[in-house]
Amino acid sequence: MYIGETAQLEFKKPGTGANGERIWLDADLTGRDLTKSQLTTDQMGQWVVGLEFNSEGSKKFAELTKELVGQEMAIFFNGELQSAPRVNEAIYGGHAQITGGGDTGFSQEEAQEMVNLLNAGALPVPAKIVEENTVGATLGADSIAKSKFAGMIGLGCVMLFMLLMYRAPGVIADIALIIYSLILFAIFKAVPVTLTLAGIAGFILSIGMAVDANILIFERMKEELRAGRNLFTAINSGFDRAWTSIVDSNMTTIIACIILCYFGSSIVKGFALTLAIGVIVSMFSAITITKNFMHLIFGTGELKYPALFGLKASEIGQGYQATETKRENARFGILD
């Protein structure tokens, strides 16, 4: 049956054709007279099909069963014979049961199928197409292409912001962001994760979450430099002291993603999954990748050019000078 086609349910009585063959005659009892059908069991525990007629249908059904006592009553669905139960007695009140006959009666599947047919035929009005829309493949491809373009624009804007605000550390953060994107796409490929429009939105949002950790670290590092810490100590303090804030902020996002994955629809789940993976990977990229690059490039040097860190020379404070402090202790900000 297709959308727009009416499910025609008819009850018919037996008759004799011109050549003496058995035929089924119209009994003026249709699905319009049936209120509902339901699956139930009889006193013997066998599956039966329960029928309930409306007031007009109750009268018609009573007259029909009174006429057909000892005979069969046919049930036609869309012009095809579905069942021909035997009428044992006249049925009044608009309630009836159809049994499967024999020792075993209906199986549950057979009874449920008949219930579905009867209820489909009991629709008071035919199905009607109210609105019809066709979404072509090119529209979906165009949306995906625009989303990818938006992702590249978002990534570029974030990288430009980090470069302007944090100068040299911003360049390192941008490199880490590129590596982060490659790792994230590799995970999406391995899981695998289908990048729907919602998934791409989650990925774009995770880009902003990825640099959030770097911003906390770099701001903390600036504070250490303003306090007079040497560059080596400032880098370590920036990462160590910002870590708690990074974990707290990202964990709240991950918890929200878990809730969305559990209770949300398929579209929401795709968004939450890509965002959660992105946040987890961003924590790794911020702490591991960015930190190693910072130590590799600046870890052993002196702060000769504060402008490379977005600071003015006048902002750099004078810290306690300890000429004999061991480098292993200085790494943790310990002065001998």
Q: What is the per-residue pLDDT for 318?
A: 53
Q: Are residues 302 and 153 in the same domain?
A: yes
Q: Is the pTM of this model over 0.85?
A: no
Which amino acid does the sequence have at 284? F
In a domain, 17, yes or no: yes
Domain assignment present for residue 325? The answer is yes
Task: Give the alpha-carbon dihedral of 174, 179, 182, 184, to 10 degrees.
Answer: -90
Is residue 2 a part of any domain in this protein?
Answer: no
Tell me, yes or no, whether 220 lies in a domain: yes
| Closest alpha carbon to 6 in 124, 173, 147, 86 | 124
Please state the φ and ψ torsions of residue 109, each to the nearest 5 degrees.
Answer: -65, -40
**Helix or strand run (H / E) with residue 22:** strand 22-30
Please count the structural domains in the chain.
Answer: 2
Count Cβ atoms within 10 A of the Cβ of residue 248 and give its class: 0-12 exposed, 13-18 middle, 19 or more buried. exposed
Does residue 335 form part of some domain?
no
- Give CA–CA dist 98/131, Å, rounded: 39
Q: Is the same domain home to 187 and 317? A: yes
Q: How far apart are CA 263 and CA 282, in angstroms?
A: 25
CATH number at residue 23: 3.30.1360.200
Tell whether 92 is covered by a domain.
Answer: yes
Within a domain: residue 129? no
Q: Report the alpha-carbon distance of residue 60 to residue 12 in Å, rounded.
A: 12
Query: Are 253 and 324 members of one domain?
Result: yes
CB 10 within 8 A of CB 76: yes
Could you list the pLDDT tens digit for every one of the 336 residues in the chain?
444 444 577 888 888 887 878 888 888 888 788 888 888 877 777 788 888 888 888 888 888 888 888 888 887 877 777 778 888 888 888 887 777 655 556 677 877 887 777 777 665 555 555 556 555 555 556 777 777 787 788 788 888 988 888 888 888 888 888 888 889 888 888 887 777 777 788 888 887 777 888 888 888 888 888 887 888 888 888 888 888 888 888 899 899 999 988 888 777 888 888 888 988 888 888 788 888 888 888 766 667 777 887 777 777 765 444 455 555 555 555 544
Tell me how far apart the alpha carbons of residues 7 and 30 are, in angstroms, rounded to a whole number. Answer: 11
Same domain, 294 and 206: yes
Residue 162, domain extent: 137-330
CA dist 264 and 262 (Å) reads 6
Q: Locate tokens 């159809």: which residue?
A: 98
- Does a structural domain hold residue 23? yes
User: Do residues 97 and 25 share a domain?
Assistant: yes
Same domain, 221 and 106: no
Q: Does residue 215 share a domain with residue 85?
A: no
Predicted confidence at residue 130, as pLDDT, reads 59
Among 121, 146, 164, identify where a domain stops: 121
142, 115: one domain: no
pLDDT in the model for residue 258: 92
Domain end position, chosen among 87, 121, 155: 121
Closest among 272, 214, 268, 289 to 246, alpha carbons compared: 214
Pick the last residue of a domain from 121, 148, 173.
Answer: 121
Q: Which residues pair with 97 in a beta bridge?
A: 50
Same domain, 94 and 168: no
Q: Are residues 263 and 322 in the same domain?
A: yes
Q: Clarify whether residues 162 and 63 are in a common domain.
A: no
DSSP-derived secondary structure letter, 305: -
Same domain for 179 and 98?
Answer: no
pLDDT of residue 3: 42
DSSP letter (8 states) at residue 9: E
Measure Cα distances from 55 to 91, 175, 234, 236 in Å. Answer: 14, 77, 87, 84
Six-digit token pair at 30? 């249709």
Q: What is the CATH number of the domain that holds 239?
A: 1.20.1640.10
